[in-house]
Amino acid sequence: MGRRAKPLIGILCCNEDAGRPVQTVASRFVRPLADLADANVLLVPALPEAVDADALAAILDGLLLTGSRSHVAPSHYGGPALADDARSDPGRDAVALTLADRMIEAGKPVFGICRGLQEINVLFGGSLAPTARHHAGSWDGDYAALFGHGHDVDLATAGRLADATGATRLRVNSVHQQGIDRLGGGLSVEATGADDGLVEAVSASPCGGAVLGVQWHPEWDVARSPASRAFFTLLGATVRGAPFHHGEA
């Protein structure tokens, strides 16, 4: 079998109820993988019984852990119980944490957005805490208002995001209700909130596969923001074997 013309990137779905159980992922996560990462995209169901993580890690070239309405269950990081109105998705937790672990072990990139960043932190032994002040609006209301809520983040001077975007500060959106509390072992801070110091992006390399996660949603404004496009372009370059950090062979 010959080499694929394009890399294959898996993207995590979520369990939702649309009058019946369904697997969902917003198209805005998928399109940049095709348009900017120049990849073929495989939707990965958040159903542990339908996913052989070892087999998938063998065929995927990269993995994107998407944002979600749901929260990572506190049982995975020893945290307090979620609020009564908070959504959980045990199937997503199981598939995301297991598949990401297998991908990294196989030396393949794992990138994360919002919940995806939180999953990466938990996978590396970190914890999460509520950050309600960073969330404004309702999932049942105006999406433009929900995703338009923003703030500034400062990028680590020698970080991969600073290198990819050519910036030291970015204006990003803020849709999350949880954030990093204890940073996972082996992770480096790529960005912090300019007003509160909250960890807003992390990376890890070398640790097997390259790892990058951002708390904001670059897929939302990818058509207007060069920095958002850089996230997906970087994923495309990384799955093709480009050096992830300066000084790497």
Q: Which residues of the chain have pLDDT under 50?
A: 1, 135, 247
**pLDDT value of residue 175:** 82
Q: Which of 71, 114, 119, 151 is catalytic?
A: 114
Question: Which structural domain, as residue segments, surrounds residue 192?
Answer: 8-239
**pLDDT value of residue 1:** 47
Q: Is residue 245 part of a domain?
A: no
Q: Is residue 112 part of a domain?
A: yes
Structure token pair of residue 179: 């954030």
Q: Is residue 1 part of a domain?
A: no
Name the one residue in this structure whose structure tokens are 């032994």: 125
3-state secondary structure 136-147: CCCCCCCHHHHH
Name the one residue in this structure whose structure tokens are 């159903």: 47
**pLDDT value of residue 246:** 56
Q: Is residue 109 part of a domain?
A: yes
Name the one residue in this structure whose structure tokens are 């898996």: 10
Q: Is 181 helix (H, G, I), strand (E, B) or coil?
A: coil
**pLDDT value of residue 135:** 47
Q: Are 191 and 142 in contact (CB under 8 A)?
A: no
Q: Is residue 248 part of a domain?
A: no
> How many separate domains does the chain show?
1
13 is an active site residue = no
CA gap 71, 89 in Å, rounded: 7
Q: Are 178 and 128 in contact (CB under 8 A)?
A: yes
Give bridge partners of residue 161 from the DSSP assignment.
none
CA gap 57, 54 in Å, rounded: 5
Assign residue 161 the CATH number of its domain.
3.40.50.880
Q: Is residue 249 part of a domain?
A: no
Q: Are 155 and 162 in contact (CB under 8 A)?
A: yes
Q: Is residue 70 part of a domain?
A: yes
Identity of residue 181: D
pTM of the model: 0.93
Q: Which of 119, 190, 200, 219 is catalytic?
A: 219
Q: Is residue 2 part of a domain?
A: no
Q: What is the DSSP letter of 1?
A: -
Helices 115-123/90-105 angle, 10° precision: 60
